[in-house]
Structure 1
Amino acid sequence: MFHKEGYTIITITLLIVIAGVLATHTWVSPEWLQYLCYAALLILLVLILQFFRNPGRKSSGNVNEIVSPVDGKVVVIEEVFEKEYFKEKRLQVSIFMSPINVHVTRYPVSGEVVFSKYHPGKYLVAWHPKASEENERTTVVVRSTSFGDILYRQIAGALAKRIVNYAKEGDTAGQGEDSGFIKFGSRVDLFLPIGTPLAVKLNQKVRGAESIIATREN
């Protein structure tokens, strides 16, 4: 299953691969060079297909859990001053996505989308300390019943040239449901209430909609 954001690129890639195979068969020699060209074209197709894959995921739907919005690795856990929406200290959890990760963004909690804003910006490497404030990004806040307002921020990286965000103010968010896509390597930051009990550690690998980032006791 592939994400709809990849349909156009996948189609174009298929056409390029088909044209490349025909051209190689007609114009390229010797035979070993033909096979090399075929292999390169196949690798290109596989890379594009794996990047836009959209595996079916279903979260537990537990209102006392915050799930990971993306696949990747936890690279930051720290208290920071969030100045765009909360204007106070929050617990930041950042997840870095490499080009080989699934790049679908999913809602970390269920609730109402109360804030959604796009910011144009730079394309610093995703792990750069200033990427959260200077790179192209979108900020989304979902008002949940158990945790209050939960903010997540899609951040473009050096390779990510397009952020897709489906969340609009007034929408109903379902935990684990598709909320956007980031094309190529990037990062997502979560901003949680101070003192939220975390279920992840630095450098831990997480899966969107399935890995639990934080919990709240009943």
Structure 2
Amino acid sequence: MMTIHKEGRSLLLYLLVILIAANIGIRHFFPSVALAADITLLLSGVLFLLVLQFFRRPKIKVCQDEQCVLAPADGKVVVIENTYEDEYFKEERKQVSIFMSPLNVHNNRFPISGLVKMFKYHAGKYLVAWHPKASTENERTTMVIERENGVEVLVRQIAGAMARRIRWYVEEGDTAEQGNEFGFIKFGSRVDIFLPKDAKVVVDLQQKTKGGKTIIARLPE
């Protein structure tokens, strides 16, 4: 079953009104140019459907597993590497990054269950999402989830060149439930996950992921 995400309902309504007005205006002011009216109607329909599919919100069945890290978003794996995380951990971690194109579902889901130990919003630039500096210079949020056994995973929402609005529905101290929605990024973006060095990554570069379903790594006991 598919629904429309709450982040898109107002935008879709405004867009529909604008497109209807544009089509009425074309037919009123250029009644003799039938081709222009037909082209405007066709382009309006295509544009509305593209925006509509961007805000789709499919219902999924989450298979929770405390030893697994689930993909926080639909998209494609663009980074798997050991890297120094300098905002919270101040040490080397395994990083997995998922790029979301405008055609992907853009709601973000908790990759693990636990306590939201830290959450912070950062204003920033709008470099393309795959830019090496996007993780540290773009508009972004940083969230750290701690499992009961003390294992911590950092999740970072990153705005891209097209994405100009990050939404989140979580605060420090909240309980994260694996697979539940915690945020949304509009129009193309990226999510970084920083895992313990002894976590076992089970996805490959360029592999497509489904938020709340694809297992991207297995955590240590």
| 1:119, distance to aligned residue in structure 2 (A) | 0.5
**Could you list the per-position Cα deviations for residues 192-218 of structure 1 after superposition, in whole angstroms to 9, with x for gaps in the alignment?**
000211110000010100111012477
3-state DSSP class of the match of 2:53?
A: helix
Structure 2 runs not aligned, ≥5 long = none
| 1:27, distance to aligned residue in structure 2 (A) | 2.6
**Could you list the per-position Cα deviations for residues 33-91 of structure 1 after superposition, in whole angstroms to 9, with x for gaps in the alignment?**
21111001101111111111111123111111110000110000000110111111100
1:142-161 matches, within 5 Å, as: 142-145=145-148, 148-161=151-164
1:27 aligns with: 29
1:100 aligns with: 103
Please say if 1:80 is aligned against 2:77.
no
Given the two structures, how large is their TM-score scaled by the length of structure 2? Answer: 0.94
| 1:146, distance to aligned residue in structure 2 (A) | 6.0
**AA at the equivalent of 1:210:** K
1:153-192 matches, within 5 Å, as: 153-192=156-195
Tell me how far apart the structure 1 counterparts of residues 171 and 50 of structure 2 sit (CA, whole Å): 31
* 1:44/1:146 CA distance change after superposition, 3 Å: farther
1:8 aligns with: 10
Tell me how far apart the structure 2 counterparts of residues 146 and 179 of structure 1 sit (CA, whole Å): 22
**AA at the equivalent of 1:97:** M
**Could you list the per-position Cα deviations for residues 13-34 of structure 1 after superposition, in whole angstroms to 9, with x for gaps in the alignment?**
1111221232233233422221
Deviates more, 1:89-98 or 1:137-146: 137-146
**Could you list the per-position Cα deviations for residues 91-131 of structure 1 after superposition, in whole angstroms to 9, with x for gaps in the alignment?**
00000111111110110011111100000111111111011
1:70 aligns with: 73
3-state DSSP class of the match of 1:54?
A: strand
**AA at the equivalent of 2:72:** P
1:127 aligns with: 130
Tell me how far apart the structure 2 counterparts of residues 48 and 143 of structure 1 sit (CA, whole Å): 36
Runs (4+) of structure 1 exceeding 6 A deviation are none
1:213 aligns with: 216
Tell me how far apart the structure 1 counterparts of residues 87 and 60 of structure 2 sit (CA, whole Å): 31
* 1:60/1:91 CA distance change after superposition, 3 Å: same
Number of equivalent positions? 218
